[in-house]
Structure 1
Amino acid sequence: MNRALHISVLFALLAAAAACREPLPQVTLADTETPPSSSAEKRLLRIAIAPMESAERSSRHYAEIFEAVGERMGMKVQFLHRQTYGDILALVQHGVADAALVCSGPFVRAEHEFGAKIIAVPLRAGTTSYHALLIVSAAGPIRRLDELRGRSFAVSDPLSTSGLLYPADLLRGSGESIGSYFSRVIYTRSHDKSIRAVADRVVDAASVSDIVFDRMVQQEPAIASKLRVILRSPPYGPPPLIVHPHADPALTARLQQALLHLHEDAQGRAQLAKIGLERFSPAEAVNYDAVRRLDRGAWGDQKR
């Protein structure tokens, strides 16, 4: 579990892992920074953002929120981006990031592998949950999952709940896998790219987060007319902000309090509203058992 592996995982290996339950892709920290040592550098709050959306969109959506949090804490924020969820988890595991905003699937993996803890979850439209959406082109005839056999499919990341774990679970019940059911699988590395791949008819279908889908439709209304939602998953625990179990407890507590109180002034509410959030909440009442079941179905009890 403590050995670091490759940061650049071939797409073919990812496809094989998704279909055949081979070990999860590993990462190396060769290109990451050594944790800062000087007193000035220690004032940095290092936040990793998982690629649920492309780096450009993630930076645009979350920069204001975490910079506001940093101001409340008297700290300068450094954003860390990587290409895969596994890479982001490695930053937390090895102390390169103080906290990371991740999807529910990566959290469950991190919880299993090194005991990651949630410090806050986003509240959206009055709920701390989200759904996976199975989408196809609105210009085509497909309206059911069984019509997708032999078609092409886009996956955002092999650790993604909505991008892979949910559709894999749908197929597992009939003895199929992502690799056996679809004729071609591509890895896009973010939900917005999967959505665009379907809208542009690069692939026939994808399973994506409704958080990213709703945000894209709000920002680009024309894209909605190009897409058809044919399945909606049960609710899953939302993308949480996680920390290592041995992270600095004082820093973790300050970060948590800054997030939980961000909505209490007009500026904070406006920053949250820009990305469709109402506030951050404690994670005690959030249930990730459904995601844990999907994770076990895909990977069993194996660790990377």
Structure 2
Amino acid sequence: MSLIANARMYAVDAATAANWTALFARIAETAGVPLTVIPHAAPAPLEDLWRRDDLGLAFICGYPFARGGFPVRLVAAPVPASGDGRPLYASHLVVRADSDIATLVDSFGRRLGWTVAHSQSGFNALRTHLLPHWQARGRLYAKSIGPLLTPRRVIDALLAEEIDLGPLDSYFHDLLLAAEPDTASRLRIVETTAPRPMPLLVASDGLGEALVARLQAALLAAHQDEEGRAILARLGLSGFAAVEPQGYRVLVEEADAADSAGYRQPG
């Protein structure tokens, strides 16, 4: 049976999507597990992808993974080359480069954008970062605009002056810097949230341990030869890491803390 693969979360542009296809082809060959890359572009819900029973490799955000409810099995997490060698990322809080907003506090009273409630980088990391300010001040923004669904839509909304500040997945930003430096130059980072576990590649739970182990082994070894390193470099990665489900519990705990405080939507 041919399984499907998808990297929509980090397909910043067509060239980056082609690099993910090349990586998945290499993993399929190494693991001996056929993978067919399929399109699943926004606004198609990512939840539909995570529920498929033929899922070989696809990204899921750590928060919905830790919250549960999707029949997936953890495979591995990417390690950004820009980091410290661990599978961690954060959310950059970004504004237009020419904005008069110099600090996060300067953005209060303006328009805030966010992606979707099941997103760690585009929603929950933002809530967690803003929670102390909200507890001290009450309502922070004149408008809270979402769901914008994707990091790309956050960028578009910023550049179209529909919002004044929004969250941007730090690894997505790495890819944007490489793929579209002109677009990246039109954005400016005001603050960055605390590092948290990266989104991870998962497979359908029904695949069984043996197939998942082969996929995981291929991912963990992807950096061990010149061709693999070249593909990873084009994707801004140093490799992949084995991770444990309990490492993602912090994301649920932080979201629950914001809910318990009554801060259910960034704003």
Identify the TM-score tier after normalising by the shorter chain: 0.7 to 0.9
1:149 pairs, out of 85, 94, 108, with 108
1:209 pairs, out of 169, 177, 197, with 169
State the Cα distance separating 1:68 from its structure 2 match.
0.9
Q: Which amino acid aligns with 1:63?
A: T
CA gap of 1:50–1:104, structure 2 versus 1, over 3 A, is farther
CA gap of 1:251–1:63, structure 2 versus 1, over 3 A, is same
The answer as to whether partners of 2:114 and 2:154 remain within 8 angstroms in 1 is yes
The answer as to whether partners of 2:12 and 2:176 remain within 8 angstroms in 1 is no
The answer as to whether partners of 2:78 and 2:239 remain within 8 angstroms in 1 is yes
2:150 corresponds in structure 1 to 190
State the Cα distance separating 1:86 from its structure 2 match.
9.1
State the Cα distance separating 1:164 from its structure 2 match.
0.8
Structure 2, unpaired ranges of 5+: 261-267
2:17 pairs, out of 39, 48, 59, with 59
1:101 corresponds in structure 2 to 59
TM-score relative to the length of structure 1: 0.72
2:128 pairs, out of 169, 174, 186, with 169
Is 1:283 the counterpart of 2:243 in the alignment? Answer: yes
Larger relative contact order, structure 1 or 2 (CA cutoff 8 Å, min sep 6): 2
Is 1:252 the counterpart of 2:212 in the alignment? Answer: yes
CA gap of 1:65–1:190, structure 2 versus 1, over 3 A, is same
Alignment of 1:204-243 (within 5 A): 204-243=164-203
2:78 pairs, out of 122, 125, 135, with 122
The answer as to whether partners of 1:152 and 1:182 remain within 8 angstroms in 2 is yes
The answer as to whether partners of 2:112 and 2:145 remain within 8 angstroms in 1 is yes
Is 1:49 the counterpart of 2:11 in the alignment? Answer: no
> Percent identity over the alignment?
25
Point out the more displaced range, 118-127 or 215-224: 215-224
The answer as to whether partners of 2:55 and 2:204 remain within 8 angstroms in 1 is no
State the number of aligned residues: 256
Q: Supply the distance in 2 between the matched residues of 1:56 and 1:75 (Cα, whole angstroms).
A: 25
Q: What does the per-residue CA deviation read over 1:93-126, in whole Å, with 9 as the maximum and x for residues that have no partner?
A: 34142332122223223xx324743221112232
TM-score relative to the length of structure 2: 0.81
Structure number with higher strand proportion: 2
Q: What does the per-residue CA deviation read over 1:129-175, in whole Å, with 9 as the maximum and x for residues that have no partner?
A: 11111001121211233332342233232211111112222333324
Point out the more displaced range, 129-138 or 150-159: 150-159
Is 1:136 the counterpart of 2:95 in the alignment? Answer: yes
Q: Supply the distance in 2 between the matched residues of 1:55 and 1:296 (Cα, whole angstroms).
A: 34
SS at match of 2:196: coil
The answer as to whether partners of 1:121 and 1:281 remain within 8 angstroms in 2 is yes
Runs of 4+ that moved beyond 4 A:
52-58, 83-86
The answer as to whether partners of 1:192 and 1:216 remain within 8 angstroms in 2 is no
